[in-house]
Structure 1
């Protein structure tokens, strides 16, 4: 059974030995999505640290 043309092309692209991780082999769109993902993870981590800080050090009531 022969592979469809598009699948064979994708297999060659993703199995090429070009020292790129598989999540960046798709081109500029993959780089943009990876950058957005890293940015959102960073924002989430900062938000969690801020929440823990504000819960740990409550405002003093006057």
Structure 2
């Protein structure tokens, strides 16, 4: 039993240590330059059209959610009609 566990540990260690690593570009300086630029935009919209779309979608869902909650509160405040 111990041999099988030891063999499994060796195989796991070998696959982790020998896996090739991908080279990833360092995008931090580019993003820092973009977000620190003084162009009058708020920080949550400096990412471009994707950020603007995400912001507008979030705002629309928030407004719809608040409207639905208010509707349900008004419905709950009236007594139920008995059949």
Q: Same fold (TM over 0.5)?
A: yes
CA positional deviation for 1:6? 1.2
Aligned length: 59
Q: Name which structure has the greater RCO, CA cutoff 8 Å, separation 6+.
A: 1
Q: Does 1:28 align with 2:49?
A: yes
Q: TM-score if structure 1 supplies the norm length?
A: 0.86
The two structures, once aligned, show a CA RMSD in angstroms of 1.4
CA positional deviation for 1:18? 0.4
Structure 1 runs of 4+ off > 2 angstroms?
Answer: 58-62
Query: In structure 1, what is the Cα distance between the partners aligned to 2:37 and 2:53?
Result: 21
Can you give the 5+ residue segments of structure 1 that lack an aligned partner in the other structure?
none
Q: Deviations over 1:32-54 (max 9, x none)?
A: 00010000000111011001100
Query: In structure 2, what is the Cα distance between the partners aligned to 1:39 and 1:6?
Result: 31
Can you give the 5+ residue segments of structure 2 that lack an aligned partner in the other structure?
1-24
Q: TM-score if structure 2 supplies the norm length?
A: 0.65
